[in-house]
């Protein structure tokens, strides 16, 4: 008897441990009524609180779309700020349900840190910014420069690779956040600031005199930035992945924040639009959501193109062109798998 209950006890503990490791994040989020979404400490256009303290931006929009899909409310998000150093422990420890923070999809983050990148929301690469007055035209002219660099990032590693390959040297000035980098760089504590090119554009846009600084022509790495979740909860990963895909597919299919209500009023003559919007098929049920999940995600901030234009596009101070982030039929890399 004793033996039996001990045995059962051990099983229960093992069962609990397994449940924690592959916890049903969807159920946790529903029970909590809020999505805990990890973001940066602040990067204009990508994730930053507005004048009223409401978070907005290109990465924030992914969190809001997932909250809309899962909870029916794009505002049901608790934004948890993370630095380059703290983001992965926050996700691994369950402090956040997902991370949407200009984070590069790499081999070791996937396999060794055991995360699941659910897609790419911005194809980027690492660049360099210098004051115009420095008179430098190429990153190869940076021998001996002091470089502001965020710790815990791919940026750090690429920088070392680039200088080594070109047989030149640099002195790193390690910093923790983008705000600190900006402050140090403007104070002249470093000659150069290096990070993802999108981050450079976002940072420069907030300068008093952006024109006094140039972004050098070299892009020294591939930085596919995307949202990620923990390994081991495929159901939750699927929800995050297909919410991002719904935003991308919506742009391809011409579903916008302006017409989504009308297009979802009843089946249209485009079956894929109908499947995305839940007026045909059972896609929502396959990810344990209701038929309107993608409609709500699109209503949260528009399709991928609308989110891009509003937050970081050419008509914003950040001024980024679509480039690689154009749809595949426009010569870019954005390509949602089929909704079927
Ligand atoms: N993509 C790189 C770099 C990410 C990164 O930390 N970028 C900086 C500069 S764009 C940032 O987001 N800073 C915001 C913050 O300090 O919270 C990585 O995943 O390691």
Percent helix, strand, coil in the chain (nearest 5)?
45, 15, 40
Question: Of the residues 104, 105, 155, which should be mutated to test ligand 1's pocket, given the most ligand atoms within 8 Å of the CB?
Answer: 155
pLDDT tens-digit readout, 182-241: 999 999 999 999 999 999 999 999 999 999 999 999 999 999 999 999 999 999 999 999
Angle at 131 between CA 176 and CA 150, to 5 degrees: 15
Q: Distance of CA 45 to CAs 37, 291, 311, 329, Å?
A: 17, 31, 5, 26
Q: Which residues pair with 147 in a beta bridge?
A: 172, 192
CA of 44 to the centre of ligand 1 (A): 12
- Reported residue count of the chain is 340
Atom of ligand 1 nearest to the CA of 156: 20
Question: Of the residues 81, 150, 202, 223, which should be mutated to test ligand 1's pocket, given the most ligand atoms within 8 Å of the CB?
Answer: 150
Q: What is the pLDDT along the chain (340 residues), one digit of tens a residue?
A: 344 444 444 444 344 444 444 569 999 999 999 999 999 999 999 999 999 999 999 999 999 999 999 999 999 999 999 999 999 999 999 999 999 999 999 999 999 999 999 999 999 999 999 999 999 999 999 999 999 999 999 999 999 999 999 999 999 999 999 999 999 999 999 999 999 999 999 999 999 999 999 999 999 999 999 999 999 999 999 999 999 999 999 999 999 999 999 999 989 999 999 999 999 999 999 999 999 999 999 999 999 999 999 999 999 999 999 999 999 999 999 999 999 9
pLDDT tens-digit readout, 260-276: 999 999 899 999 999 99
Cα–Cα distance between 92 and 114 in angstroms, integer? 8
Minimal-distance CA residue to ligand 1 atom 19: 103
What's the whole-model pTM score? Answer: 0.93
Ligand 1 pocket list (CB less than 6 A): 40-43, 83-84, 102-104, 150, 153-155, 177-178, 195-196, 199, 223, 225
Q: What are phi and psi of 323, to 5 degrees?
A: 50, -130
Which two three-digit tokens encode residue 74? 């794009």
Please give the full DSSP string across 55-66, using - where no structure is assigned.
EESHHHHHHHHH
pLDDT number for residue 110? 98
Minimal-distance CA residue to ligand 1 atom 16: 177
Atom of ligand 1 nearest to the CA of 41: 17
Cα–Cα distance between 118 and 103 in angstroms, integer? 12
**Nearest Cα residue to 287 out of 336, 256, 227, 246:** 246
Atom of ligand 1 nearest to the CA of 43: 14
């Amino acid at each position: 008897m004793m033996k039996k209950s001990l045995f059962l006890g051990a099983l229960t503990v093992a069962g609990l441990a397994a449940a924690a490791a592959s916890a049903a994040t969807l159920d946790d989020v529903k029970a909590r009524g809020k999505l805990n979404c990890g973001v940066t400490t602040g990067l204009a256009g990508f994730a930053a609180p507005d004048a009223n303290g409401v978070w907005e931006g290109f990465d924030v929009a992914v969190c809001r779309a997932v909250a809309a899909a899962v909870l029916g409310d794009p505002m049901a998000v608790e934004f948890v700020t993370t630095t380059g150093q703290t983001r992965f422990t926050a996700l691994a420890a369950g402090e956040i349900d997902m991370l949407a923070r200009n984070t590069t999809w790499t081999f070791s983050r996937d396999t060794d840190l055991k995360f699941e990148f659910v897609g790419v929301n911005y194809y980027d690469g690492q660049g360099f910014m210098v004051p115009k007055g420095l008179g430098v035209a190429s990153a190869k002219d940076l021998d001996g420069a002091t470089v502001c660099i965020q710790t815990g990032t791919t940026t750090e590693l690429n920088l070392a690779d680039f200088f080594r390959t070109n047989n030149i040297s640099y002195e790193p000035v390690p910093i923790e956040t983008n705000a600190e980098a900006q402050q140090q760089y403007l104070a002249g504590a470093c000659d150069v600031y290096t990070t993802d090119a999108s981050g450079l554009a976002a940072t420069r846009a907030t300068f008093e005199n952006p024109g006094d600084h140039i972004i050098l022509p070299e892009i020294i790495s591939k930085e596919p930035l995307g949202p990620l979740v923990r390994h081991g909860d495929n159901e939750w990963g699927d929800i995050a992945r297909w919410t991002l895909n719904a935003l991308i597919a919506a742009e391809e299919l011409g579903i916008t924040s302006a017409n989504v209500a009308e297009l979802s009023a009843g089946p249209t003559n485009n079956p894929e639009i109908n499947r995305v919007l839940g007026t045909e098929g059972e896609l929502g049920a396959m990810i344990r959501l209701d038929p309107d999940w993608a409609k709500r995600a699109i209503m949260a901030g528009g399709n991928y193109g609308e989110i891009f234009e509003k937050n970081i596009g050419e008509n914003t101070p950040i001024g980024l062109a679509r480039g690689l982030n154009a749809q595949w039929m426009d010569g870019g890399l954005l390509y949602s798998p089929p909704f079927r």
